[in-house]
């Protein structure tokens, strides 16, 4: 192929709780223009958590969630059940299912998911997660709240991702590369600061009383 998946988004916001370090929601900003970030859709490493409600996508695709402003897409698979048995993301948005909403027994048998996205509680299949993808992911915009939104021109494509239960996708950002980039920027800033200081001192000498 975040983060925001995940697909890391090195997109820090004040709502960092939605993007834990162990889950890649999705997108990594590689552009110097924050209003038009380039998004790195590379697959992040999968980390086993043992929590059956943690879901990771291995391959191309997104989970779909229902928000107040319509359907949105994410790679962040940290989910939980509410008291009514609905499967929700960290912000309380319900997952979208194929063929209608699914409900679980909050204190029932263990929940499991197979690679196709079929979810079972015990031996009973409760529903199948809606997985989506797009022919041109350049038609997706990151909304700043941890989700992708599809433009009217976005053409759906078949998601080929397999769902891994009990796992989360880590950020796809390479920490070493990010550190090197940060050091390079810092050195550039220091060089520019030293240059300005040198120019300022030269002006002071030129303007000093003789």
Average pLDDT over residues 11-36: 40
Which residues on adjacent β-strands are paired with residue 165? 55
In angstroms and rounded to an integer, the radius of gyration of the C-alpha atoms of the chain is 22
| Percent of the chain topping pLDDT 90 | 53
Token pair of 175 as six digits: 């920490």
Question: Count of domains in the chain?
Answer: 2
152 and 201: one domain?
A: no
Average pLDDT over residues 181-199: 80
Token pair of 91 as six digits: 């912000």
Q: Decide if pLDDT at 25 tops 60.
A: no
pLDDT in tens, 40-69: 788 889 999 999 999 999 999 999 999 999
Q: Decide if pLDDT at 90 tops 60.
A: yes
167 and 108: one domain?
A: yes
195 and 144: one domain?
A: no
66 and 140: one domain?
A: yes
Average pLDDT over residues 118-146: 93
Average pLDDT over residues 118-126: 95
Q: 15: which residues sit within 8 A by CB, 6+ positions away? A: 145, 146
Report the chain's mean pLDDT, rounded to a whole number: 81
113 and 37: one domain?
A: yes
206 and 134: one domain?
A: no
> What is the Cα–Cα distance from 99 to 130, expressed in whole angstroms?
9
43 and 76: one domain?
A: yes
Question: What's the domain range around 96?
Answer: 16-173
């Amino acid at each position: 192929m975040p983060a925001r998946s995940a697909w890391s988004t090195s997109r820090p916001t004040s709502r960092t709780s939605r993007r834990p370090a162990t889950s890649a929601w999705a997108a990594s900003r590689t552009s110097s223009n924050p209003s038009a970030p380039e998004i790195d859709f590379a697959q992040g490493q999968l980390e086993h958590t043992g929590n059956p409600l943690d879901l990771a996508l291995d391959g191309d695709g997104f989970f779909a969630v229902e928000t107040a402003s319509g359907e949105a897409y994410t790679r962040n698979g940290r989910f939980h059940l509410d008291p009514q048995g609905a499967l929700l993301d960290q912000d309380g948005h319900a997952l979208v299912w194929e063929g209608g909403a699914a409900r679980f027994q909050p204190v029932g048998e263990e929940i499991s998911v197979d690679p196709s996205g079929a979810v079972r509680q015990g031996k009973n299949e409760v529903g199948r997660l809606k997985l989506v993808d797009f022919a041109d992911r350049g038609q997706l915009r990151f909304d700043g709240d941890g989700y992708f939104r599809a433009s009217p021109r976005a053409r759906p494509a078949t998601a080929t991702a397999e769902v891994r239960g009990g796992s989360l996708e880590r950020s796809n950002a390479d920490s070493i590369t990010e550190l090197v980039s940060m050091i390079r920027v810092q050195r550039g800033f220091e060089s520019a600061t030293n240059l300005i200081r040198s120019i300022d001192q030269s002006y002071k000498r030129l303007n000093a009383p003789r």
